[in-house]
Structure 1
Amino acid sequence: MVILEEEPGPGPSSSRLSPPQPESHPLPTSPPLPTTPPRAVTPRPVPISTPRRSPRRRRRRVTPLTQDAARRELIRISDRRAEIEEANRDTLIKLLEEIRGIKEMLLSRYVERPRDEV
């Protein structure tokens, strides 16, 4: 609540704003905080999310193969595939032989043999 008081002074009566006076003992007050005028907050523009591009890579130019070169490349690939299949087949045969040998060894150890009666 604000009370307007009139003070006698030179000239016409002047009015002054004064804080309300409590009837009891006044409490100690801290000095008033400096007030700064509110700043107008301008919203920052939100960037539209764009997919990030990786650094530009040099693209190799692929020269089209001639029909002859394409045929040679296909023959080379099919030959290599045949070599790999043959190597795989040989490896499988060796592994099967090894497994058979292990199987026979285990059977010979653990299968009961007829004992000679004494």
Structure 2
Amino acid sequence: MLDDFEFSVFGEQFRVREESHPDRASSYNFAWLNGPAEGTYGFSVGVFAADAASPGNGLHPRMTRDQLMAEARNFIEGFYAPGGIGEEDFPEHVAAQPEKTHFASVASQRLADSTTPFSGLVAQ
């Protein structure tokens, strides 16, 4: 099992916690430490044993740190994109690096290229 770890993407700080489930799935809970709602907002990503491309021990698929950081990057790009969750639900929240103006075009391309088996948003 992956130890909890923290990292930064575009100045946004995350803590990731891995959970293994009895149905041969793994989930990763991302706490957005400097995000909206006083750091209580985040999202989760799940992978399932049927995804043969996932590294792991055969019992529970695993994501690498690089894959997890890519998930956070995709989330941030979509969050701050025009019409994204940030603009709609958290208009008072300011990006840690507001000079990053390429979120919309990059987010659109990444969504089109996404091969993630499951990704969902949750309040933590």
Q: What TM-score results when the alignment is normalised by the length of structure 1?
A: 0.17
Structure scoring higher RCO (CA < 8 A, sep ≥ 6) equals: 2
Higher strand share: 2
Q: What TM-score results when the alignment is normalised by the length of structure 2?
A: 0.16
Higher helix share: 1
